[in-house]
Amino acid sequence: MIPLQSGLERKEEELAGFKRYLENAHGFALGGNWDYDRGSFDKALDEEHKVWLRIPFEVTRGRLDSDQVSAETNIVIGTPFVLKHLYNEGNDLDASSMLASGLVNQFQAPVDKDADIEPEWVEEAKAQLNKVEEGWRQSR
């Protein structure tokens, strides 16, 4: 994980508008690791979905609900970062013994959830973050 400097950090924003902007203009999605008082917006930087730009946030007013984003909910933006997850590729040799478990747990955990990140991905994350910042500034 590599933190990135951002003009968005520590800014308080209305969640619904910021979410709509990130999703529609830049292809981010509300990360699956959200809770009622915190979450993140994630964007895959590579086709394999191993390298991600993440913009974390904390809820300062209201509640986060993935089904319905209220105009009453405000967030404060945290420090964006780029991260890389490495997964096992190919068939799982233990799959036959794990068949019942696989029906419940379909997604494997990363082999390395904080893998080394090549410099070109850090630069790509910075470029994407700059686009987000510039567009947000212009939309206000």
- CATH number, residue 125: 3.30.310.100
The verdict on residue 102 lying in a domain is: yes
Q: What sign for the dihedral angle of Cα 121, 130, 52, 58?
A: positive
Residue pair 110/85 in contact by the 8 Å Cβ criterion: yes
What's the pLDDT tens digit per position in 51-70? 999 999 999 999 887 666 77
- How much is the average pLDDT of 29-58? 93
DSSP string, 27-76: --EE-TT-BTTEEEEEEE-STTS-EEEEEEEEEEES---SS---TT-EEE
Q: Which residue has the higher pLDDT, 41 or 88?
A: 41
Please, which pLDDT band fits residue 106 given cuts at 50, 70 and 90?
very low
The verdict on residue 140 lying in a domain is: no
**Domains identified in the chain, total number:** 1
**DSSP assigned state of 140:** -
SS3 of 79, please?
Answer: coil
